Amino acid sequence: MLHATSHCHHDSRLPVGTITLDHRGRHLRRKRLVTDQGDIVMIDLPEAVLLASGDALVLEDGRTITILASPEALYEVRPGRQCPLAHLAWHLGNRHLAAEIGADVILIERDRVIRAMLEGLGAEVREVVAAFQPVHGAYHAHGHGHHHSHGHGHE
C-alpha cells in the first residue's frame, strides 16, 4: 500500500499514477483510495484540503500521484439579454451553490429547481458533462493555514 502524507499544486514531476475524483471527492484529509492504475493509496494529510485537477499527492518516498477531475453532470449557465452574468452569480452565491465562474459562463451542479429560477431570470441553461472545479469560498483556506485571526479583536 502506498502512503500519501502531503500534497502540492500542479507538480512537474512524472507521476506514478492518477486518481480521478469528482469535486466532492477531491476534498480529502484521511482516506483510502485506489488509483486509476489499481494501486491502493492511504491518504493521511495533516489537514483537510480541496485538491484541484492537476494537483498531486506526495508519497512518503517523494513520488507523486496526480489528481484528475472526473466529468460531472452540470448546467452551463449563460447570461440572457435582461440578466448579466454578475446578477446570475449573485443569485447562485446567495443560495450557497458551488459554482465554477468563467468570463461568460457559470457551471453548476444540476438541480431542476435552480434551473427554473435561472431560466425565469432570463439565463440560457443547457446540460453538459464536464470536469467541475468550483470557486473556493471566502473562508476556504486551501492548505495555507489562514485562520481569520488578524489581530483586530475578531476571528
How far CA 136 is from CA of 32, 44, 97, in Å, comes to: 24, 22, 11
pTM of the model: 0.80
Averaged over 33-48, what is the pLDDT? 96
pLDDT per residue as tens digits for the range 55-88: 999 999 999 999 999 999 999 999 998 889 999 9
Type of residue at 101: I
Q: Can you give the pLDDT at residue 147?
A: 34
Torsion of CA 14, 15, 21, 26, to 10 degrees: -90
Dihedral sign for Cα 147, 150, 151, 154, please.
negative
